[in-house]
Amino acid sequence: MNKPPRRRAVVTGLGAVTPLAIGAEESWQKLCRGESGVSRITKFDPSDYKVQIAAEIKGFHPEDFMDRKKARRTDPFIQYTLVAAQMAMDDSRLIVDDSNCHRIGVVLGSAAGGMATYGQNLFALRDEGPDKVSPFFIPGFLANMAAGEVAMAVGLRGPSKCVVTACASSGHCIGDALRLIQWGEADAMIAGGGDAYVLPIAIAGFDKMRALSRRNDKPEKASRPFDMDRDGFVTGEGAGTIILEEMEFALRRGARVYAELVGYGSNIDGIHITEPDSKNQGFCLTLALHDAGVSPDELDYVNAHGTSTVLNDICETEAIKTALGDHSRRIPVTSNKSMIGHLLGGAGAVEAVFTVLSIRDGIIPPTINYDTPDPRCDLDYVPNTSRRGNIDTVLKNSFGFGGANAALVFKKFKD
């Protein structure tokens, strides 16, 4: 039996809560100006920690977006994701009602779910006994509850999934949402994810792995992907979502289209829990390009994972060379994490939002803090200043602990 042709999926809405701003547009403008969202930690006293910096969400008050009761019972990772999803829905002007709710779904991920809620209830159990554990403990920390809360808030009845693949989570969410639309199982999807990891246990744990920057004296200089003097990533928090719609569904309702999502690649290194493998990462990028029907020389820009760790940046550079060949020497490659830190499960989605806006505006935001070239990282990383140009096709990379790899290909929409 011949399969029906795959349906096309377009991006019609964007939402983001980031260390730069509450909202996609303001975050994007600051990103293009090269502003850093990294500062000394304020959510707890970091004086006894070797790492005292993070990319925190600033000025976020959940009661501005939801009633006080919901704000009290939801973890920050749910709050960030819920707000980003509502922003994306408002941006898309997609109306959900009884006529379409069963054809609209949600795929939202997180690296670990409600870590803050888990910690609070663990301490309550230890210090005061089982009666002090909140009845909202379980729904507050489960990773899939961001998807559940969004579905309830919007009134969705279509497919619902949560992907947990560490730092690749929301990249996989967007790719899986694409497949649901391509295969005809949904007409529109809310896709992305978020995390709220600026917590004592997370900072201590990542630092014990020697994964974090200890540049406490100059927080804004700490995240420096691909730079010779990088010494680790900076933990960030936030959420990003995009609205994906089947092309005809979007056009029939007169939707404004930002870009088209044309390709998705996914694989696993299967070698080591934390050390990446450039060969398999490169194969993931090749899978995405093949899925999109795009040759390497058609790409205009690579939005990198770019964590600012010594090994990861070298491996990603090699992966890009493996997938793009000679074209890798001519294509701009940048890391948004130089300004927003590493949003973990939310990283891929927030960076996908920025990728789409790059296509819209013809702007490649810089990799800031790139001062000293590393001979092992020898591509064009667009140092410190944004660059303008025609951006038609972009590759977005996401890689996670456990060897999880995801790659997306976005393209300027042409009906």
Summarize pLDDT for 284-318 with one digit per residue, the tens: 999 999 999 999 999 999 999 999 999 999 999 99
Range of the domain at 69: 1-403
Tell me what the pLDDT averaged over the chain comes to: 96
pLDDT-based confidence at residue 143 (cuts at 50, 70, 90): very high
pLDDT at 274: 59
pLDDT at 121: 96
Residue 411 lies in a domain: no
Residue 415 lies in a domain: no
Residue 412 lies in a domain: no
Tens digit of each residue's pLDDT (9 = 90 or more) over 261-282: 999 999 998 776 656 788 999 9
Closest CA relative to residue 78, chosen from 170, 134, 165, 142: 142
Adjacent-strand bridge partners of 161: 107
Tens digit of each residue's pLDDT (9 = 90 or more) over 169-185: 999 999 999 999 999 99
pLDDT at 150: 98
Beta pairing class for 104-109 and 188-196:
parallel
pLDDT at 5: 82
Q: Based on the number of CB atoms within 10 Å of its own CB, is 297 exposed (0-12), middle (13-18) or buried (19 or more)?
A: exposed
Residue 410 lies in a domain: no
pTM: 0.97
Give percent above pLDDT 90 in the chain: 95
Residue 408 lies in a domain: no
* Cβ atoms within 10 Å, residue 411: 22
Q: If you write DSSP's letter for every residue of 197-266 in order, what string do you get?
A: --SHHHHHHHHHTT-B---TT-GGGT--TTBTT---B-BBEEEEEEEEEEHHHHHHTT----EEEEEEEE
CATH of the domain at 234: 3.40.47.10
Place of tokens 């092309």: 247
Q: Rounded to an integer, what distance in angstroms lies between the CA atom of residue 200 and that of residue 67?
A: 28
pLDDT at 270: 74
Tens digit of each residue's pLDDT (9 = 90 or more) over 69-102: 999 999 999 999 999 999 999 999 999 999 999 9
> Does residue 1 register a pLDDT over 60?
no
pLDDT at 3: 63
pLDDT-based confidence at residue 330 (cuts at 50, 70, 90): very high
> Does residue 327 register a pLDDT over 90?
yes
pLDDT at 276: 72
Residue 254 lies in a domain: yes
Catalogue the active-site residues. Answer: 167, 305, 342
Residue 78 lies in a domain: yes
pLDDT-based confidence at residue 111 (cuts at 50, 70, 90): very high
Tens digit of each residue's pLDDT (9 = 90 or more) over 197-229: 999 999 999 999 999 999 999 999 999 999 999
Q: How many domains does the chain have?
A: 1
